[in-house]
Chain A
Amino acid sequence: MTLIQGRTGEWECVIGLEIHAQVISKAKLFSGAPTDFGAEPNTQVSFVDAAMPGMLPVINGFCVEQAVRTGLGLGAEINLVSVFDRKNYFYPDLPQGYQISQFPRPIVGKGSITLDLEGGETRTVGITRLHLEQDAGKSLHDRDPGATYIDLNRSGVALMEIVSEPDMRSAAEAGAYIRKLRSILRYLGTCDGNMEEGSLRADVNVSVRRPGEELGTRCEIKNVNSVRFVQQAIEYEASRQIDIIEDGGEIAQETRLFDPSRGETRAMRTKEESHDYRYFPDPDLLPLELDADWVAGIKASLPELPEAKKARFMADFDLNAYDAGVLVAERETAEYFEAVAEGRDAKACANWVTGDLFAALNKAGLGITDAPVTASSLGALIDLIDDGTISRRIAKEVFETMWRTGNDAAAIVAEKGLEQISDTAAIEAEIDTIIAANPGQVAEFKGGNEKVIGWFVGQVMKATGGKANPKTVNEILRKKLAD
């Protein structure tokens, strides 16, 4: 258990997350306006989204399907009858004066997520519910000192609000939760998980308590838009609350904002009464009723999800929990790896993908689908190591050339003459020269310094441009030095 040391003893931090995930769909939840990101302001707004008088909402069936698919992916109960409610509040980017949401009867009930933690450990976090709702428009406060500009393009886009149980105990677990949820959403194709573009936003509930005691008063930190900021906000908020209690104060339940530039949270000025949302069933919308067979059909069409894929990678490819977790985090990575590993040594393939390939991708700032080295060409490179054509060290060089030029491994090896020298006579000749030239090191070895053999191997590799087969070099060296 992760505990925080205060001045007066240990504290436990209790965290719950509400994630707003933008549904992938062509049209909005209740209108036929497009959902494209980055369009010119107010060009994707139907009269429904702008709440013109007399406009009525008609639900987009695909958004419902996406919510059901997500619920099934979280192993959650699907409610065959759910109800849309109005959540009433006034804000300039909410033209209706209410948000169409779901309150007492959401479309999805209880489910769970398994977190992948440090060292291959796992932990299960409960999902309380998932409901469908409309997004609001966007307010821009920085364009004019005296005015707020409103862009309604996002108004009416379908969101899934996914609420967790207060089951997390550290910033690291909250980070793991968001990463895992994002991964599942992306596998399902229900949300692109892009936090920079705001497709995934987190409200973070934080409280502290003495270990084992009743839950403390919580504060909600609104609209945090990166995993790193969520973790910073939790660290800051937990220590703020501990300081207050240890100084004899009490925590006020309130909504706070995280300021990334200062790394701290501060209270919003909104008065408590503005949170009186006066929910009631939306009279414009009948209850949302689902057919059990239709739900079963969606369930049958679910892809293999990260959890199952990870278990399969561990069982079939004999990978450890950590490697398997890294490889399944993104569906595209898992597909790439499986293509490389087909008919090859899986562990070696995993090392290439998570090692050289990931390093090159990070350096170039590319995603795996943009990798200039395809899965089949990486596989061909690994084959050249396996059949003894090139050494591992040379393979790294060949990989770099493949990355730069897009050429095949075999072509690069042939062109540059990089084939491994397994010809014993050629290697023996090099070794004889080196031994003759370095009587000092030879004496050291004979005097019992085993380590000096490494130096000899290095010299031989240098003399052969790294092409000598290291195993052969070792064998011959030991024999000659023993003479």
Chain B
Amino acid sequence: MSLDKATVAKIARLARIKVPDEDLDALAGELSRILDWIEQLNEVDTRDVPPMTHVAAMKLKWRQDEVTGAPPRDDLIANAPEERDGFFCVPKVLE
């Protein structure tokens, strides 16, 4: 499978990764080769295998509905670029 330059640019934008125009061709090539590599899986006959989202021989662990607490607010927001009145503070985003 081969990705074109425009698709790579779109993926980068959706992931909020800034990719200079001149790097797009090389990236398209690399990503296409990764997809080709994964596509080898299509050669396996899976007719009798139900669709799955994982291969681990485990079951999902459940927790009880118990409050185990929350960290002190100062710890929580210690890494925030900016904090005001106990809120995380970011540049204005408004619809």
Query: Do A and B interact?
Result: yes
A residues neighboring B (CB under 8 Å): 25-27, 31-34, 40-47, 50, 58-64, 83, 88, 90-92, 139-141, 143-152, 257, 268-270, 273, 276, 278, 281, 283, 285-289
The closest CB in chain B to the CB of A88 belongs to B14
Pairwise interchain contact A286-B64, C-beta atoms closer than 8 A: no
Selected from A88, A92, A281, the residue in CB contact (under 8 A) with B93 is A92
- Which of B16, B82, B94 has the largest number of chain A CB atoms within 10 A? B94
Q: Which of B20-28, B29-37, B41-49, B53-61 contacts A (4 or more CB under 8 A)?
A: B53-61
Asked whether B39 is an interface residue with its Cβ less than 8 Å from the other chain, the reply is no
B77-94 interface mask toward A, CB cutoff 8 Å, 1 = contact, 0 = none? Answer: 100001011111111111
Q: Once the chains are docked, how many angstroms separate the CA of A288 from the CA of B65?
A: 17
Pairwise interchain contact A285-B60, C-beta atoms closer than 8 A: yes
Q: Once the chains are docked, how many angstroms separate the CA of A31 from the CA of B67?
A: 8
Binding site secondary structure of chain A: loop
Taking residues whose C-beta sits less than 8 angstroms from the other chain, chain B's interface range is 35 or more
The closest CB in chain A to the CB of B58 belongs to A286
Pairwise interchain contact B89-A289, C-beta atoms closer than 8 A: no
Asked whether B73 is an interface residue with its Cβ less than 8 Å from the other chain, the reply is yes
B91 CB → nearest A CB, Å? 7
Which are the 10 A-B pairs with shortest beta-carbon distances? A32-B68, A62-B65, A149-B87, A61-B62, A281-B53, A150-B88, A286-B60, A33-B70, A92-B90, A34-B67
Residues of chain A within 8 A (CB-CB) of B76 are: 42, 45, 47, 50, 152
A60 CB → nearest B CB, Å? 5
Q: Once the chains are docked, how many angstroms separate the CA of A59 from the CA of B62?
A: 5
Pairwise interchain contact A32-B66, C-beta atoms closer than 8 A: yes
The closest CB in chain B to the CB of A23 belongs to B65
B63 CB → nearest A CB, Å? 5
B residues neighboring A (CB under 8 Å): 10, 13-14, 16, 53-54, 56, 58-71, 73, 76-77, 82, 84-95
The closest CB in chain B to the CB of A282 belongs to B53
Pairwise interchain contact B95-A148, C-beta atoms closer than 8 A: no
B49 CB → nearest A CB, Å? 15
Residues of chain B within 8 A (CB-CB) of A31 are: 68
Residues of chain A within 8 A (CB-CB) of B16 are: 90
Q: Once the chains are docked, how many angstroms separate the CA of A362 from the CA of B78?
A: 48
Pairwise interchain contact B63-A148, C-beta atoms closer than 8 A: no
Pairwise interchain contact B88-A286, C-beta atoms closer than 8 A: no
B57 CB → nearest A CB, Å? 10
A293 CB → nearest B CB, Å? 16
The closest CB in chain A to the CB of B64 belongs to A61
A289 CB → nearest B CB, Å? 7
Q: Once the chains are docked, how many angstroms separate the CA of A44 from the CA of B86?
A: 12
Pairwise interchain contact A42-B88, C-beta atoms closer than 8 A: yes
Q: Once the chains are docked, how many angstroms separate the CA of A273 from the CA of B88?
A: 27
Pairwise interchain contact B63-A58, C-beta atoms closer than 8 A: yes
Other A-B pairs beyond A27-B66, A146-B92, A150-B87, 7, CB < 8 Å? A40-B73, A50-B76, A58-B61, A60-B65, A92-B93, A149-B88, A152-B76
Known A42-B76, A90-B16, A286-B54; contact A149-B84, beta-carbon cutoff 8 A: yes
The 10 listed contacts between A and B (C-beta, < 8 Å) are: A27-B67, A33-B70, A42-B76, A58-B62, A143-B85, A147-B89, A147-B92, A149-B84, A150-B87, A269-B95
